Chains A and B, each alone.
Chain A
Amino acid sequence: MSRPGTVLVLGTGQAGFQVAASLREEGFDGRVVLVGDEPGLPYQRPPLSKAYLTGKADANAVRLRPDKFFAEHRLELRAGERAARIDRAGRRVALASGEAIPYDHLVLALGARNRALPVPGAGLDGVAQLRTLGDAEALRGRLDAARQAVVVGAGFIGLEFAAVAAARGVAVTVVEAADRPMARSLSPAMSAFFRGAHERQDVRFVFGATVVRVLGGEGGGLATGVETADGRRFPADLVLVGIGVVPNAELAAEAGLAVADGIAVDEHLATDDPAISAIGDCARHPCRFAAAGTGPTRIESVQNAVDQARCVAARIAGRPAPYGAVPWFWSDQGALKLQIAGLATPHERAVVRGDPAGGAFSVFCFREGRLVGVESVNRPLDHVLARKLLANGIGLAPEQAADPRFDLKAHASVPRAA
């Protein structure tokens, strides 16, 4: 059963695209308008720091769908347009161009933007970031000429870039404030494995160091390196900043919606205005996989964007259901593929399954005696089975996870206990 009217989607990333596509799959027959400030057709972000950067994929290959898909499904794509203000009383959104678009339901899929490095010199030429196709294009050009790169932040993006740069013969130094890579997301065991793997590719890590200045720029010149709080200097002709993101929640806040590091939504992904939903990187939702007491959760991933988009599209089409998909993530770093199921932070116990020395293992993480997350490298079957265990609430003991003879596949296939 479709309900007529206009659904306006702000944001043309993975979440915005998916909600529009899913509305049609759900049989919604009304008007669907997609507004986003990036030019061109919606595209996938994950390949930008991987295949696109290495030149294996071009702009066409990262597009989610061709032009014709939008026309055939009557999805009105307004690329390169910025939304300026939400008029909740009048149910319309004013664009920066002055035009106003009316809506019956508004979906905020505004995404996030990269956190800027808050130090002098951060605006110098030669300081780069990586989030958009435009960023990736610019970075690809710079990488051709780079000899020494400093990566600020040992998170997923920083390390994906470091692996690509090192493979091209660039001398890479990663400067990180924490004492290990991907500390916010990974168990110490998996973190240590990735540190070793990157070091074997000649990536150098500097932990416990905070960048206080980007050097260079004299006479309008390029960045020449960074300086850390302890006075050390690391020369570079390219500085890549990957220190996390800030959710794009300003439009919602200005419209009086509840915002706290992301737009607050309920279990149906509705904001405190029932005519407005928020999904993807910009939304903070009550997540059944998060640790008790941590409050609503904001997740930055393709899976979260896509599954939340589907949930909202189904609700608009008249089939509401609370959101409850298992979070999963992946990161390609050089030849290694890291896969994560669940939200493993924090956890009290971590057990290893497989062979870390041989580069194929998983870390099963337990919180209050329950399996909450599994990190895998070159163990794709563990990852898939972990998602099944978590989705179906199938219990697993740490001893079972650690026992190589324990048949995880058979265990994951056991029907859920009533």
Chain B
Amino acid sequence: MPNIVFVHPDGAREELEIAEGTSLMQGATAQGIDGIVAECGGNCMCATCHVYVEPSQLALLPAMSEEEDALLDGTASERQPNSRLSCQISVTPALDGLLVNLPERQV
């Protein structure tokens, strides 16, 4: 299974194996990672699964939908050019080794 690295705001790293076809958000919450809230359960409605993707890996990700773009304008931690919602990122073999930074706040 692809390996995804989550980096907490304090620098702590957690590596998770996430099955292909599940979202980063699902993989993180199912394994109990702090820092991903995902209150809507992956419906792209709440912007509480915000992550900052390693800039050099951004191009590996699926394109952003209009709704994700709009929701990112309302995140609790400031939006950056590498901001994404982790519920909209489906894990593929190409994402093995992806590194995402968790924001200070999700709500």
Contacts and interface: CB of A to CB of B under 8 A. Distances in A.
Interface of A: 18, 44, 46-47, 60-61, 63-66, 68-69, 72, 302-303, 306, 310, 328, 330, 332, 337, 339, 380-381, 383-385, 387-388, 409, 413
Contacts of B31: 66, 68
Contacts of B30: 60-61, 63, 66
Nearest to B26: A61
Contact of B39 (A65, A302, A380, A413): A302
Contact of A65 (B32, B40, B43, B44): B32
A409 B72 CA distance: 13
Contacts of A72: 32
A341 B11 CA distance: 37
B10 interface: no
A332 B41 CA distance: 13
A65 B31 CA distance: 7
Contacts of B46: 303
Contact of B29 (A64, A302, A330): A64
Nearest to A337: B43
Contact of A330 (B32, B45, B71, B73): B45
Contacts of A337: 43
Nearest to B44: A380
Interface in B37-69: 39-41, 43-46, 65-67
Contact of A306 (B32, B39, B67): B39
Contact of A328 (B29, B32, B45, B66): B45
CB-CB nearest 4 A-B residue pairs? A380-B67, A69-B32, A384-B70, A306-B39
A360 to B, nearest CB: 11
24 contacts: A44-B41, A61-B26, A61-B30, A63-B30, A64-B29, A65-B29, A65-B32, A66-B32, A68-B31, A69-B32, A72-B32, A302-B41, A303-B39, A303-B40, A330-B43, A330-B45, A332-B43, A339-B45, A381-B70, A383-B45, A384-B67, A384-B70, A384-B73, A409-B70
A393 to B, nearest CB: 16
B107 interface: yes
B67 A310 contact: no
A328 B74 CA distance: 15
Nearest to B30: A66
Contacts of B43: 46, 330, 332, 337
Contacts of A339: 45
Interface in B66-95: 66-67, 70-71, 73-74
Contacts of B45: 328, 330, 339, 383
A384 B74 contact: yes
Given A65-B32, A302-B39, A381 B26 contact: no
B9 to A, nearest CB: 13
A2 B84 CA distance: 32
Nearest to A47: B41
A40 to B, nearest CB: 15
A404 to B, nearest CB: 15
Contacts of B32: 65-66, 68-69, 72
Nearest to B40: A302
A381 B67 contact: yes
A297 B40 CA distance: 22
A206 to B, nearest CB: 31
Contacts of A413: 73
A381 B39 contact: no
B70 A385 contact: yes
A380 B70 contact: yes
A384 B71 contact: yes
Given A65-B29, A65-B32, A381 B66 contact: yes
A310 B71 contact: no
Contacts of B26: 61
A385 B69 CA distance: 11
B107 A310 contact: yes
Nearest to A310: B107
